[in-house]
Amino acid sequence: MQVSHSFAAASAVFDDEHLVSCAGLVPVMTLAAQTGLGQLLDAKVDIAEPRIRSGSANPAPKLTTVIAGMCAGADSIDDLDMVRAGGMKTLFNGVYAPSTIGTLLREFTFGHARQLESVLREHLGALSRRVPLLPGADERAFIDIDSLLRPVYGHAKQGASYGHTKIAGKQILRKGLSPLITTISTETAAPVITGARLRAGKTNSGKGAARMIAQAVASARAAGVSGQILVRGDSAYGNGVVVAACRRAGARFSVVLTKNRAVAAAINSIGEDAWTPVKYPGAVRDPDTGAWISDAEVAEVPYTAFASTPHAVTARLIVRRVKDARYPDALFPVWRYHPFFTDTTEPVDTADVTHRRHAVIETVFADLIDGPLAHMPSGRFGANSAWILCAAIAHNVLRAVGVLAGGAHAVARGATLRRRIVTIPARLARPQRRPILHLPSHWPWSHHWLALWRNTIGYSPPATATT
């Protein structure tokens, strides 16, 4: 590509009051309004004793502005100013300045964050009733739980501390904050977020997991999940408290167990003829060597876990073994063993593939890191807690937007949805006082954008039957 005109130094002027850079926010925020997001925020978020009197005024439109900015790609409080440029304030009412929003976020405490988490759960249910967000949920759904460590720098971040994280297969100590997140997905649906809770960086990964799983199962049922629910987690959640929470909630579990003497003895009791080859749909990278592997062997044995605790339970210990690539020329195979504990009834090879799909939650983390969680925007812990919960609501709204746009957008990355659907430029015109958005001609995804437009702007709920 080459520039086709000879521009002068004064040829670029920011002076058009009718241009918008994020025309896709019109159907996005229409969907949010149709699912009652503003009403939920207004009803549930209440800051009774603010430090600054004006800080708690009008929390619903301020938080809606945050969510709109995140849908458009904002990753800091200052970035929220993008929703005030050009004709945006003509398109939307109640658009607040970043400084005003920052004042509100700094008023948040732990209790106020729980109010916002309640909005997240109820709004997910409203989205699911409005949009087929979880196809296949009448048969089976998956709840995944995991934490991530977001790095921070300097001394101004409340709650920041050194915690362990894995980068390129190596455990390192890093200063940051650690959100704990739960998601719901199905065999064909991309994951949506049911809960998010910010914690200090040094917090154990499993702290608070049992409560979040119970809330996630309740949220899944409220979102229309009528089939079996399987809770998946890594070794941080392979403990009796988490398994007991799953069973109380009526969900099955599939969690990794830390290898100890009892687990090692159970693995050693498996006969050599019990191992079944399993071929994975795609190659995976060995976490220790970085080499690609595509097959393994699996076997199972009955096992009573947590026997010395009040939460003892007997279920299946399924073990996957792969040849250790560090010893390619060994006379006899050297195996590496990966056990997990589950009460599912699938065949052993299918259960192993199902458990390993727990990694789908990493795509949610990637979306958040590539968007609003690129930074922890505030020095106050409460403000960052509110920011993460707004990011979770924005993620769910974008997932619903992708479903309504159709095609591959139903499972597309958040960055893809922002690029193709949300951040599309337009010129606002009002002939005969009727607003019209003039969008770029030959837009490659115009039919998907118009499908979203018709499914939101043109949406007409059926009339209530009269008696």
CATH code (residue 338) = 3.90.350.10
Q: Under a CB-based contact definition with an 8 Å cutoff, are residues 320 and 355 in contact? A: no
Question: Average pLDDT, stretch 367-375?
Answer: 93
Q: Is there a domain that residue 461 lies in?
A: no
Shared domain check, 71 and 52: yes
The domain total for the chain is: 2
Q: How far apart are CA 308 and CA 203, in angstroms?
A: 25
Question: What single string gives the DSSP state of each residue in 340-399?
Answer: EEE---S-HHHHHHHHHGGGGHHHHHHHHHTTGGGS---SSHHHHHHHHHHHHHHHHHHH
Shared domain check, 354 and 388: no
Shared domain check, 160 and 233: yes
Is the pLDDT at 7 greater than 70? The verdict is: yes
Q: Dihedral sign, CA of 341, 345, 351, 355? A: negative
Provide the pLDDT confidence category of residue 467 given band limits of 50, 70 and 90. very low
Instruction: Answer with the one of 350, 369, 388 that is the final residue of a domain.
Output: 369
Shared domain check, 90 and 162: no
Q: Under a CB-based contact definition with an 8 Å cutoff, are residues 340 and 257 in contact? A: yes
Comparing 356 with 331, the larger pLDDT belongs to 356
Question: Average pLDDT, stretch 192-204?
Answer: 93
DSSP code at position 418 = I
Q: Is there a domain that residue 431 lies in?
A: yes
Provide the pLDDT confidence category of residue 453 given band limits of 50, 70 and 90. very high
For the whole model, what pTM was predicted?
0.92
Shared domain check, 211 and 156: yes
Instruction: Answer with the one of 328, 344, 369 that is the final residue of a domain.
Output: 369
Shared domain check, 330 and 312: yes
Task: Render pLDDT for 375-398 as a digit per residue (tens, 0 to 9).
Answer: 899 999 999 999 999 999 999 999
Q: Dihedral sign, CA of 380, 384, 386, 387? A: positive
Q: Is there a domain that residue 462 lies in?
A: no
Shared domain check, 355 and 207: yes
Name which of 18, 11, 14, 26 is nearest 449 in CA terms: 26
- For 321, the domain range is 138-369
Q: Is there a domain that residue 118 lies in?
A: no
Q: Is there a domain that residue 6 lies in?
A: no
Q: Under a CB-based contact definition with an 8 Å cutoff, are residues 230 and 142 in contact? A: yes
Q: Is there a domain that residue 176 lies in?
A: yes
Shared domain check, 266 and 237: yes
Q: Is there a domain that residue 11 lies in?
A: no
Is the pLDDT at 462 greater than 70? The verdict is: no
Shared domain check, 401 and 350: no
Location of structure tokens 């408290």:
241
Shared domain check, 241 and 300: yes
Instruction: Answer with the one of 314, 337, 369 that is the final residue of a domain.
Output: 369
Q: Is there a domain that residue 209 lies in?
A: yes
Shared domain check, 364 and 240: yes
65: burial class by Cβ within 10 Å (0-12, 13-18, 19+)? Answer: buried
Shared domain check, 164 and 307: yes
Question: Average pLDDT, stretch 24-34?
Answer: 95
